[in-house]
Structure 1
Amino acid sequence: MIDHVLPLLAFGVLTGLTTVLFGFGGGFVTVPVVYAFAQAQNGAAGDPMHVAVATSTAVMVVNSLGATVAQYRAGRLKREYVWPLALYVGLGALVGAVGALAVGDTVQRILFAAYLAATIVDSVVRKGFLTRAAGAEPRGLGPVTVTAGGVGIGAAASCLGVGGSVLTVPLLRRRGLPMANATAMANPLSLPVAVVGTAVYALAGGADATGDRAGQIGYVDAVAAATLLAGSLPTIALARRIVGRIPDRVHAVAYVVLLGAALLAVLLV
């Protein structure tokens, strides 16, 4: 384990940075990293993708909560975009987490890569994400988007361990919100996904999930999660000071570039 501490700490720092700047909660960083870590430790016998997704949701609970508090204090959260959408996201998260346990490790990895690829293409091809219309007034969320959309976001996010920001950020962006506000809202909207997903994955486990490793609760690798958090939490405290200073278009382009890096990582691991 000791030879993995420094890499996990380093990626924990990156996780904290992406949580504040992009609302990821760590999912796109932690899933590929913990997948590689779990595969090196247990191989296919330990269901590395399930462990990666479960550990990612556990890390997101703490990261998203910390970032939510920071964004609230900065005045970037708008209640009408968070509630009741968060309720339906939580309901969908329960469905997604249970469904994830029914699919094989390889299928889950393929779905994760496809999810990233589709989001990248959508963000680049469709208008409204990379460039925000000058003087555009933010628009509210319709009832169908809040209910059916919320359930769909929660199900996909919980199944893949990504927190939902990859869907909520483009959604809010196309409602006319600046990137700073859209990514800020992704943090509280990731919380129900993280809490529900962690509970399901932690209770699921058993001998097949934990293998012979200590420090694993169900599919959640508590040691890897704690190491990642040791790097992410101090970073969240520091990074919150630079949100809002990044030009809007640069912020949007960086979001897509980071998704591309995560896709490349999961394909090469």
Structure 2
Amino acid sequence: MFGCLTGVTTVLFGFGGGFVTVPVVYAFTVARSGGGVDAMHVAVATSAAVMVVNSVGATLAQARSGRLRREYLWPLGAWVAVGAAAGALGAVAVGDAVQRVLFAVYLGVTILDSVVRRGFVAGGVAGAGPRPLGRVAASAGGVGIGAVASVLEVGGSVMTVPLLRRRGVAMADAAAMANPLSVPVAVVGTAVYALVGSGAAPGHVGYVDVVAAGLLLAGSLPAIAVVRRVVGRVPDRVHAVAYIGLLVVVLVAIVVV
């Protein structure tokens, strides 16, 4: 069930699954282990593994739909990869409790920024078309996106989508381009967590819960195939508001858990 929801959010919002899989895997890991393992590390590691497959699958689907635009993906994608590598080196050193708090704070700041600062819901400046990314936004912004996303394993969409929205990009296109921009973060994160994780429980590769990842993908991949056919029919403003609403739900979920 949560795998299907992961697939839906991957296509609609470019999440790659991170905002759904992290709270879900965290809750199940805590319930199963009784708190005896680094549950947040397991959650973000498993999220990264799911995100690799989801993001690549969604990228291929979105490429066929014509929503990917090279001027927004390059060189931003290269800088995101640099930041992801740097962030991954410190990710496993962050304590489980600290990582959980950072995840919640990250969500809260993003929600507040999207609501308070102009440009996200409406998409850029009224009457103006899409504007290209500047060098600073692509380089410094890309490194920051990759580093933060690698530590929390959320794919970076929560930063790339607002960034592109404020450049006047349609919500459906911004969400579509968040998927290829999530691939380097997911690949680096999966490799690091698989290599250095403790693998305390059966069915794990490092910190990656292989069983949970497989079950989530069994639901997400069919959902991606179905939802990609209808994503362009959602009104732009409704799409943007729904994006914020989902972040609120995830924030409540991780705080309650």
TM range (shorter): over 0.9
Question: How many angstroms apart in 2 are the aligned matches of 1:145 and 1:43?
Answer: 43
Q: What does 1:80-159 align with in structure 2 at a 5 Å threshold?
A: 80-132=71-123, 133-159=125-151
Query: 98-107 or 246-255: which moved more?
Result: 98-107
2:213 to 225, 234, 239: 225
* 1:45 Cα deviation after fit: 2.4
Correspondence 1:203-214 to 2 at 5 A: 203-205=195-197, 209-211=198-200, 213-214=201-202
The aligned amino acid for 1:46 is V
CA distance in 2, matches of 1:37, 1:198: 19
Counterparts of 1:120-269 in structure 2 under 5 Å? 120-132=111-123, 133-205=125-197, 209-211=198-200, 213-269=201-257
Q: For residues 22 and 184 of structure 1, what CA distance do their matches in structure 2 show? A: 7
Q: What does residue 48 of structure 2 align with?
A: 57
Separation in 2, partners of 1:215, 1:181? 37
1:60-71 matches, within 5 Å, as: 60-71=51-62
Give unpaired runs (5+ residues) of structure 1.
Answer: 1-9
1:193-245 deviations in whole A, cap 9, x for unaligned? Answer: 0001100110011xxx222x221000100100000000000000000011110
CA distance in 1, matches of 2:202, 2:92: 21
**Residue type of the alignment partner of 1:265:** A
In structure 2, C-alpha distance between the alignment counterparts of 1:185 and 1:135, rounded to whole Å: 23
- CA–CA distance in structure 1, aligned partners of residues 174 and 127 of structure 2: 16
Partner of 1:6: none
Aligned residues: percent identity? 70
- Report the CA distance between 1:72 and its aligned residue: 0.4
Q: Stretches of 4+ moved more than 6 A in 1?
A: none
Amino acid at match of 1:235: A
The number of residue pairs the alignment matches comes to 256
Query: Could you tell me how far apart the structure 2 residues matched to 1:123 and 1:78 are?
Result: 23
- Tell me which moved more, 86-95 or 25-34: 86-95
Choose the corresponding residue for 2:35, options 31, 44, 49. Answer: 44
Distance in 2 (CA, whole Å) between partners of 1:95 and 1:129 is: 28
- Output the CA distance in 1 between the equivalents of 2:34 and 2:150: 23
After TM superposition, give the deviation of residue 150 of structure 1 in Å: 0.5
RMSD across aligned positions (CA): 0.9
TM-superposed deviation, 1:134: 4.4
Q: For residues 137 and 36 of structure 2, what CA distance do their matches in structure 1 show?
A: 40
Identify the range of structure 1 (129-138 vs 77-86) with the bigger mean alpha-carbon deviation: 129-138
In structure 2, C-alpha distance between the alignment counterparts of 1:182 and 1:198, rounded to whole Å = 24
CA contact (8 A) 1:46 1:210 kept: no
Q: Which runs of 5+ in 2 are unaligned?
A: none
